[in-house]
Amino acid sequence: MRGVSTPAPSSPRPLAATAPRGGGGLHRFANPGRFLRLTDRLLPWLWALAVAVTGAGAAWALFFSPPDWQQGETVRIMYVHVPMAWLAMGGYAGLAVASLMSLIWRHPLADVAARELSPVGAMVTALCLATGSLWGRPMWGTWWAWDARMTSVLVLFFLWVGHAALVRAFDEEERGARAGAILALIGAINLPVIKWSVDWFNTLHQSASVTRISAPGMHVDMLYPLLVCALGFTLLFAALVLARVRAAVMEKRLRQMQLAQARRQEGAA
């Protein structure tokens, strides 16, 4: 699953000289070497768990949960659509946190995490929009409406894509990361707008069914498979992002080593 071979654990070169070593609190995880060692052990288990939970959730949602009394079997789109919507927003909250850490504390891993997060977030948001559209055509009678909920989620999709493009648009990586972090933080204002758009404005989109776990407007026979699917997709999302961050950290180290080697050869010549 990991694809890239792990470097020797005693790899001598830290990613950035500013990485605090052996510090307490959050800084413990800002060290790329420690991150690689930790995820090397964690990731296989995470992948296995993610595949198992998603598989179980999908089977429950597709074969062992009831149809809806008026939507019929179309209700099963909800088991993908709702987790994707939650992940699109939760993932963006993660991007905002990574951007904060990057801007204020200059964590070396936060930039990498933000950069690797946005393509996955864009994909998840696209899936949310696509599944919603597929559900909307037979149920509402339209693929799309410019109501507050749908428009604000479309803006979220553009923010994800924009962030992914912006951080890659600079020759100097750090400037791209800085610009991306500012964009991500400005865009975070969209999250409460999405969440409450269905309550603040009158929309075609229905309001939330799963608000308080005590009184959801959804029968438990549908709610439980939905929650398992959401957990499974979240684990998949986390595994995918962690694997991408690992690969990016290793790529960076490889480039640094090649650069050092080239310099040594130059010096010897």
Candidates 38, 49, 51, 100; binder of another protein (CB under 8 A) is: 100
Angstrom distance (rounded) from CA 140 to CA 138: 6
What tokens does 262 get?
């080239």
What tokens does 146 get?
């410019």
Q: Does position 130 bind another protein by CB under 8 A? A: no
- Secondary structure letter of residue 8 according to DSSP: P
Other residues' Cβ atoms within 10 Å of the Cβ of residue 199: 11
- Binding segment (CB under 8 A) for another protein, from list 19-27, 216-224, 242-250, 252-260: 216-224
- Binding segment (CB under 8 A) for another protein, from list 51-59, 153-161, 164-172, 183-191: 183-191
Q: Contact at 8 Å (CB) between 127 and 80?
A: yes
Q: Does position 231 bind another protein by CB under 8 A? A: no
Cβ at position 237, least distance to another protein in Å: 24
Task: Give, as ranges, the residues between 22 and 61 that touch another protein (CB under 8 A).
Answer: none
Partner residues linked to 68 by β-bridges: 72
Q: Contact at 8 Å (CB) between 20 and 30?
A: yes
Angstrom distance (rounded) from CA 84 to CA 9: 36
Q: Does position 64 bind another protein by CB under 8 A? A: no
Candidates 2, 105, 165, 170; binder of another protein (CB under 8 A) is: 105
Candidates 64, 202, 266, 268; binder of another protein (CB under 8 A) is: 202
Q: Give the chain's length.
A: 269
Q: Does position 140 bind another protein by CB under 8 A? A: yes
Angstrom distance (rounded) from CA 72 to CA 221: 14
- Chain residues binding another protein by CB under 8 A are 66-71, 75, 78, 100, 103-105, 138-142, 145-148, 185-186, 189, 193, 200-204, 206-209, 214-223
